Amino acid sequence: MTTARDIMTAGVQCVDQNESLLDAARMMRDLNVGSLPICGLDNRLHGIITDRDIVIRCIADGRDPAEMSAEELAGHLHWVNADDDVTDVLKTMEDNRIRRVPVIDDHRLVGMISEADLAQHLDEHQIAEFVEHIYAR
């Protein structure tokens, strides 16, 4: 059985819930990633923020990313457990039409699964099905 832990990218860095979106964007740039988990003072996952969130829900609304915190964009959160089977991971991502999902073990963030991770670990049929569910209108 292939699990979430088998396909995830480990060592994911969080942005603090109180950091500005400007700092989050710089962190994404420096890490060359399109999303960051948002962690609280309790070192637990509070949300996830994407580069698209910053553009659409901050800048396009005329808000200042230096004045808006990461937590303000931490909407509804989906995650998978590290020991979940890859079919459960795909179902979570497909059902919620999300392209990245945090991986949790013992209530702690241990990694992320992105489209790139799926492309490296899944067969062509699984990838095609995922793409159809995520990108179909």
Residue with structure tokens 């392209």? 99
CATH number at residue 109: 3.10.580.10
User: pLDDT by residue (tens digit) across 74-114?
Assistant: 877 899 999 999 999 999 999 999 999 999 998 889 999 99
pLDDT of residue 137: 61
Side-chain half-sphere exposure of 104, counting CA atoms within 13 A? 16
pTM: 0.86
Residue with structure tokens 């989906």? 78
Q: Which two tokens stand for residue 103?
A: 């991986």
pLDDT of residue 42: 79
Rounded average pLDDT over 12-35: 95
Rounded CA separation 68/81 (Å): 30
pLDDT of residue 43: 73
CA dihedral 132→79→15→9, nearest 10 degrees, is -70
Q: Which two tokens stand for residue 47?
A: 């949300």
Rounded average pLDDT over 17-35: 95
Residues spanned by the domain of 56: 4-135
Q: Which two tokens stand for residue 65?
A: 């990313």
User: pLDDT by residue (tens digit) across 29-80?
Assistant: 999 999 999 998 877 899 999 999 999 999 999 999 999 999 998 877 899 9
Amino acid residing at 120: Q
Q: How many structural domains does the chain have?
A: 1
Rounded CA separation 43/2 (Å): 28
